[in-house]
Chain A
Amino acid sequence: MISFELTEEQRMIADTVEAFARDEIRPAARAADEQGLVPAELVGKIWELGLVRGVLPEQFGGDGGQRSSVTGAVAGEALAYGDLAIALHALAPRLAAFPILEMGTDEQRARYLPGFAQAAFRAGSAALMEPRWDFDVLGVAARAARDGAGYVLNGEKCYVPLANESDFLLVYACSEPAAGAVDAFLVPRVCPGMTVGEREKNMGLKALATYGVTFKDCALAAEARLGGERGINFRRLMSQAKVALAAMAVGVSRAALEYARDYARERRAFGVPIGTKQAIAFMLAEMALEVDASRLLVWDAACRLDKGQDAFKESCQAKSYTAAAALKIADNAVQILGGHGYIREHPVEMWLRNARGFATLEGIATV
């Protein structure tokens, strides 16, 4: 039955997280970007919103809430509306916790999930991307070859958020000779053959610590494979990852739209607010409709995921559309602010740098 109405619970989460993003995250965003650091105190406060712990089962110490991709998208949008880098940092534990929750063996769930159900923030991460110009989720080259009962992992990863801060990484690698079959491996932070490189220096997302990680003949036990012999549903995990980033792109887009809109109402030229000029007003109108179109595409993919349907194509659509829209909207925002948009006093240049990440980045968030 076609419906465009969020549940009461989803609306409540959206309102709560958005208020928090406005009051607590946005004011901290510029300093975090300049200093390359997300304040631990702020991360702790976001953690208390329960966006990770809340959906972990009670048996592992969580609140036992229903996990939903639509809810995850709504929360992700609201958080990224505050600041993308801070949102990615705060939600990074999901990268490990959620795949374990959904696809781990009972032993893996019992071993790893309680760590993410604590009162204090626990870093977590996953390593998916690889430093190649033509990387995509269908072209994972890292390889986990079977070696006796276990595996030997070789490969190079990049854009691994909080790699240095996490106790273990969820590493995506091919374990079968068949093309496209990707598995995930639970690799402890200290593991012979694994090297976490220097912190990466990127165009945007400067507050988010990301790292390159290399694996050279890294020996793993059989239990390291997520889901055991059953393995994982990689398509589904990647769909969830794409939906998460797409939702955050909507948040960045909306932030840029609203900032430019408010500026256009204040800033005067030729005796009137620039918002009363069609050249500016039309840009804002297109931005507004693209924010809404973006969100609907995200929800389309997310509600397919919630129904347990395959949503790979829809997730790809949502991600590519929202990434392009976010870049265009943030660029328009800079343009509407003119010279002021280029000055770091305003956040729009930061949003433009951050927004460019969406098209490139994969697997650094999930719902």
Chain B
Amino acid sequence: MIDFEIDPELQRRLDTYRMVAQQIMRPISREYDENEHARPTEFYEAMWAGSRQGGLQVGAERGGGKSTGRTLFTILAAEELSWGDVGLFLQIPNPGLGGAAVMAAGTPQQKERFLKRFAEGRPKWAAMAITEPGCGSDSAAITTTARRDGDHWVINGTKIFCTSGKMAAELSEGFVVVWATVDKSAGRAGIKPFVVEHHTPGMTVVRVEDKMGIRVSDTAALVFEDCRVPLDNLLGSPEVKPEGGFKDVMATFDATRPIVAAMAIGVGRAALDFVRDFLKQRNIEVRYGLCPQRLSAIERDFMEMEVQLKAARLLAWRAAWLLDNGQRNNLEASMAKAKAGLVVTQITQKAVELLGPLGYSRAYLLEKWMRDAKINDIFEGTQQINLLIIARRILGYSSKELN
């Protein structure tokens, strides 16, 4: 039975996240935007503690109780927290994309070995390193290599744009999942994920990027020089076969793209809520049911923003729901991500426009949200890469036929 209503029990649980967004994230949002590479350590501790008490889980939720699946609950929580501050959301100590890769490609033993640390001890992060200076969207073209040497894999290469890379590699007892090729001649099939533990010799964070937005989130460049990891740190099967390897990268994205969509939607909702309150204070009402000829331009703009955000949200919910129900969601995850990245970029830009000179000012968070929003249109697969995936799926083309 079709139903898109958040029931009261679920809403109560989400209210906790909303409270965190409102009372913990918003008050420090501007501070860590201005002081780009400062570390919000109190925030880390608070989020880590909240997570250990079981009341607040991010990235690896145990599920939403009997009524809501795990992925759906994750994206609902992600929207709430990203409404608070999407950069801070990315910085919450959690298994993150590295954990998602372990979940997607790892054996049960590997999941246990690598993920149980997130239930104990000090705050930790796990990151995923896939992009390189010479390749981004074309992730099959990665040049980082993993060569077998006795009981170890030896990794060499450079990775960039690794979210939480510094936290995972150097500032906590986390790990980085590095995608490297074990056989260049095998193309995509030769690409495998390797878990590189924190402080592994040969892994160096050479830079943390300066960015337009999400400035509190560390975006690291890592160099791997004869970095040795145990054989068992290769996630899944070491066998090079056409069906393996790269498919696992894609499986990771199927799980994470709905979350990125939800992050975008959280930022978009922040902007929309701000504009709504702003208009309300000025007694400007947005009236539904009237024809465009009888509406003001502001009403038309606002309605467009509101419905576009809702469309993106429903697409994201669907992608998550499918995953929770054991169905393939590759197409739907790309739809959600492409739509959310695009519309939230547009919504935040329109919100800045609607507030005139006030919108451009750093006196309000609106301009920050516009800067923050844009990343969602780029990372975890740009809008264009997601459109490409959708197009291949609906046209029935392979990546060779349509690229």
Contact = CB atoms under 8 A, between A and B. Distances in A.
* Contact size range, B: 35 or more
Contacts of B395: 261, 264-265, 275, 281, 284
A7 B3 CA distance: 11
Interface in A258-279: 261, 264-265, 275-276, 278
B118 interface: no
Interface in A197-247: 238
11 contacts: A1-B3, A1-B7, A1-B68, A7-B1, A70-B2, A285-B388, A293-B315, A296-B4, A296-B315, A316-B289, A321-B311
Contacts of B294: 134, 136, 139
B1 A292 contact: no
B161 interface: no
Could you say which of A3, A137, A316, A320 has the most chain B C-beta atoms within 10 Å of its C-beta? A3
Interface in A291-329: 292-294, 296-297, 299-300, 302-304, 307, 312-313, 316-317, 320-321
A275 B402 contact: yes
Contacts of B107: none
Interface string B363-403: 00000000000000000000010011011101111000110
Q: Which 3 A-B pairs have the closest CB atoms?
A: A281-B391, A136-B291, A296-B314
Nearest to B315: A293
A136 B314 contact: no
A278 B315 contact: no
Given A2-B5, A284-B395, 8 more contacts: A1-B3, A2-B3, A4-B317, A6-B1, A139-B291, A261-B395, A299-B2, A300-B310
Interface string B349-362: 00000000000000
Contacts of A137: 289
B289 A297 contact: no
A313 B3 CA distance: 17
B289 A317 contact: no
A293 B332 CA distance: 10
Contacts of A102: none
A289 interface: yes
Nearest to B290: A136
A297 B402 contact: no
Could you say which of B4, B325, B388, B397 has the most chain A C-beta atoms within 10 Å of its C-beta? B4
A300 B7 CA distance: 15
Given A296-B318, A312-B289, A2 B394 contact: no
Interface residues of A, number: 47
Contact of A5 (B1, B338, B401): B1
Contacts of B392: 281
Contacts of A5: 1-2, 325
Nearest to A304: B5
A42 interface: no
A297 B387 contact: no
Nearest to B319: A4
B284 interface: no
Interface string B1-29: 11111110000000000000000000000
A286 interface: yes
A312 B394 contact: no
A183 to B, nearest CB: 17
B2 A278 contact: no
Contacts of B3: 1-3, 303
Contacts of B35: none
A135 B2 contact: no
B306 to A, nearest CB: 7
A276 B321 contact: no
